[in-house]
Amino acid sequence: MADHDITLTVNGEEYDLAVESRTLLIHALREGLGYTGPNVGCESTLCGACTVHVDGEAIKACTTLAVQADGREITTVEGLGEDGELHPVQESFQEEHGLQCGYCTPGMIMTSVDFLEENPDPNRDEIREALEGNICRCTGYQNIVNAVESAAEKLEEAE
Amino acid sequence: MFPNKFDYVRATSVAEAIDLLEEYADADTEILAGGHSLLPTIKSGLASPEVVVDISGLDELAGLEIGPETTTFGATTTYADVLHTDGVYDAVPDVAETVEVIGDRQVRNAGTMGGNLAHADPASDLPAVVVAADATIQIQGPDGERAVPASEFFIAMYTTDLGPSELITAIEVPNVGDDEGATYVKKKSPSSGYAMVGVAARLRTDGDSIEAARLAANGAFDHAQRLEAAEDALVGATVTDDLAATAAGAATDGVEEWELMDDIQVSSDFRGQLLEVYTERAIQQALDRVGVAVSA
């Protein structure tokens, strides 16, 4: 019972893999399957660098067992864009310079995508609150909030 | 931050989960739902279970139902499920508003109502609210089902009335009536967001006097508990401008300094002061809300 055969669908691709009970989803994704978009930051549910979507909802992959995600659909930052085009939220982070070192960016983007699906027209306070669980040590957040604001407009225009 | 090794078993029903807990009764066994209390505890070395029983996939424990008198939360209902349910702010505004301030967005997508209560972190937000709301904790174990009032469920830090092979199945919270006001206010830790002191209030009025009052605090003591002296100061009192302040002064009556938590952020002395201030705010806000709808 210490090893388990599980199936993960990551960015539409189905994988069968064997994991230990204690393997965290973030490690299964990064080391088991090579999805190095989600990062390992604090490893204690605080910084959000490991944020991915499980069945469409943003969660912290450092606080989820890989075996718990058995049979679920996972989206990492690598799976956001389509046909070689960046997702509008990714584009906005680039245009608004919503990053410096970039380490927190995959998590910021995954949380923002989940948030904008629920609240397509947020104000700046709501954006800051939505990103409460994602920590950036470089930017001071100003440009990140700008990026999410601009992404919201882009997504609305695209509808 | 790698968890120690453990065996993982996935239950396919509540009955099977209880059988598994019994089967591994001699081992150090933990229940896994959202994992947002258990995994941090395991990773930090505070827990090192030999067996983890996963109940997160049990549909019979998920979801909430808003009835005419009570709202029932299945144990594995996530915080996000609560916030995405229409009518929850009307039925149990204090619970909804509390869930809204737990953790962060990602945590609320994974953490569960039952997991929160079973973990019984003294600084968590939900315990005071269920105690003040006079909620009932539904428990199932080898000897069948039983119901425990929330005020008797929390015993000490990380310690509840749950037996070794028992689990929470649901939390039943009485709905807030038209003549009632309910709220939860907290002084949060600037670093963790947990409650340094949090006070929940449910007041029922009869004209211009208070017919019933339930107040409870978390963050202040080693477990969530009622503030009975302050409740006594409210019941039967006529609502005046200074009632909240007067009654809140009783929040620390009979409380010894050692009973108040003392840590690097807040001394027990300062906690006592915070407890009175936040009790006053909770009472006042609950009074202001009688008959007023609370929105998301």
Which among B45, B50, B77 has a CA at the least distance from the CA of B61? B77
Q: What is the CATH number of the domain that holds A65?
A: 3.10.20.30
CB contact under 8 A, A21 and B8: yes
Mean pLDDT of B208-222: 96
- Nearest CB partner across the interface for A130, out of B1, B56, B105: B105
Residue B78, phi then psi, degrees to nearest 5: -80, 160
- In angstroms, rounded to a whole number, what is the distance separating the alpha carbons of residues A36 and A29? 7
Token duo for residue B169: 């199945």
Contact A131, A111 (CB under 8 A): yes
Region of B266 please: left (phi>0), alpha (psi -120 to 50) or beta: beta
pLDDT on residue B204:
96
Q: Is the pLDDT of residue A2 over 90?
A: no
Beta strands in chain B (DSSP E): 7-10, 29-32, 51-54, 64-66, 70-74, 136-141, 144-149, 154-156, 159-160, 167-174, 180-188, 195-206, 209-218, 225-226
Mean of the per-residue pLDDT values of chain B: 95
Q: Is the pLDDT of residue A110 over 90?
A: yes
CB contact under 8 A, B109 and A43: no
Helices (H), chain A: 25-27, 88-95, 105-118, 124-130, 142-158
- In angstroms, rounded to a whole number, what is the distance separating the alpha carbons of residues B147 and B138? 5
pLDDT on residue B296:
60
pLDDT on residue B1:
66
Which among B129, B195, B117, B124 has a CA at the least distance from the CA of B159? B117
Q: Is the pLDDT of residue B233 over 80?
A: yes
Categorize the per-residue pLDDT at A125 as very low, low, confident or very high, splitting at 50, 70 and 90: very high
Domain check: are A98 and A71 in the same one?
no
Domain check: are A95 and A58 in the same one?
no
Residue type, B154: F
Domain check: are A33 and A50 in the same one?
yes
Q: Is the pLDDT of residue B22 over 70?
A: yes
The model's pLDDT over B6-21, given as tens digits with 9 standing for 90+, comes to 999 999 999 999 999 9
**Which residues of chain A make contact with B193, given a CB cutoff of 8 A?**
132
Neighbouring CB atoms inside 10 A of B278's CB total 26
Å between B3 CA and nearest CA of chain A: 6
Domain check: are A68 and A110 in the same one?
no
By residue count, chain A amounts to: 159
Token duo for residue B265: 């952020």
pLDDT on residue A158:
85
Categorize the per-residue pLDDT at B192 as very low, low, confident or very high, splitting at 50, 70 and 90: confident
- Token look-up 């349910």 returns B85
Which pTM value belongs to this model?
Answer: 0.95
Split into its structural domains, chain A has a count of 2
Domain check: are A64 and A123 in the same one?
no
Contact A148, A127 (CB under 8 A): yes
Which of A79, A99, A131 marks a domain boundary?
A: A79
Mean pLDDT of B182-193: 93
pLDDT on residue A92:
98
Q: Is the pLDDT of residue B94 over 90?
A: yes
**Which residues of chain B make contact with A31, given a CB cutoff of 8 A?**
none
Residues pairing with B226 in the sheet: B216
Domain check: are A34 and A101 in the same one?
no
Q: What is the CATH number of the domain that holds A136?
A: 1.10.150.120
CB contact under 8 A, A43 and B1: yes
pLDDT on residue B83:
97
Say which range, A35-39, A40-44, B68-72, has the weakest mean pLDDT.
A40-44
- Nearest CB partner across the interface for B40, out of A44, A67, A134: A44
Which of A51, A79, A107 marks a domain boundary?
A: A79
For residues B277 and B46, the model is more confident at B277
- In angstroms, rounded to a whole number, what is the distance separating the alpha carbons of residues A77 and A30? 12
Would you report the helix, strand and coil content of chain B in percent, each value rounded to 5?
Answer: 35, 25, 40
Beta strands in chain A (DSSP E): 3-10, 13-20, 51-54, 57-60, 73-75
The model's pLDDT over B126-162, given as tens digits with 9 standing for 90+, comes to 999 999 999 999 999 999 999 999 999 999 999 999 9
Domain check: are A59 and A97 in the same one?
no
Domain check: are A70 and A102 in the same one?
no
* Cα Rg of chain B, angstroms: 19
Categorize the per-residue pLDDT at B292 as very low, low, confident or very high, splitting at 50, 70 and 90: low
By residue count, chain B amounts to: 296
Categorize the per-residue pLDDT at B191 as very low, low, confident or very high, splitting at 50, 70 and 90: confident
CB contact under 8 A, A21 and B54: no
- In angstroms, rounded to a whole number, what is the distance separating the alpha carbons of residues B205 and B239? 9
The model's pLDDT over A16-38, given as tens digits with 9 standing for 90+, comes to 999 999 999 999 999 999 999 99
Give the range of the structural domain holding residue A152, as residue numbers without chain letter.
88-158
CA dihedral A80, A86, A92, A97 (to 10 degrees): 110
Percentage, residues of chain A above pLDDT 70? 99
pLDDT on residue A1:
60
Domain check: are A12 and A46 in the same one?
yes
CB contact under 8 A, B5 and A59: no
pLDDT on residue B123:
94
The model's pLDDT over B152-163, given as tens digits with 9 standing for 90+, comes to 999 999 999 999
Categorize the per-residue pLDDT at A159 as very low, low, confident or very high, splitting at 50, 70 and 90: confident
The model's pLDDT over B107-127, given as tens digits with 9 standing for 90+, comes to 999 999 999 999 999 999 999
**Is the interface score ipTM higher than 0.90?**
yes
Say which range, A9-13, A82-86, A114-118, B131-135, has the weakest mean pLDDT.
A82-86
pLDDT on residue A140:
82
Which among B5, B3, B16 has a CA at the least distance from the CA of B167? B16
- In angstroms, rounded to a whole number, what is the distance separating the alpha carbons of residues B25 and B31? 12
pLDDT on residue B87:
96
CB contact under 8 A, A21 and B105: no
Asked if A17 reaches chain B (Cβ–Cβ under 8 Å), the answer is no
Domain check: are A67 and A98 in the same one?
no
Domain check: are A17 and A58 in the same one?
yes
Which of A79, A102, A119 marks a domain boundary?
A: A79
Asked if B7 reaches chain A (Cβ–Cβ under 8 Å), the answer is yes
- Nearest CB partner across the interface for B106, out of A1, A44, A58: A58
Domain check: are A60 and A10 in the same one?
yes
- In angstroms, rounded to a whole number, what is the distance separating the alpha carbons of residues A66 and A8? 9
Beta strands in A28-91 (DSSP E): 51-54, 57-60, 73-75
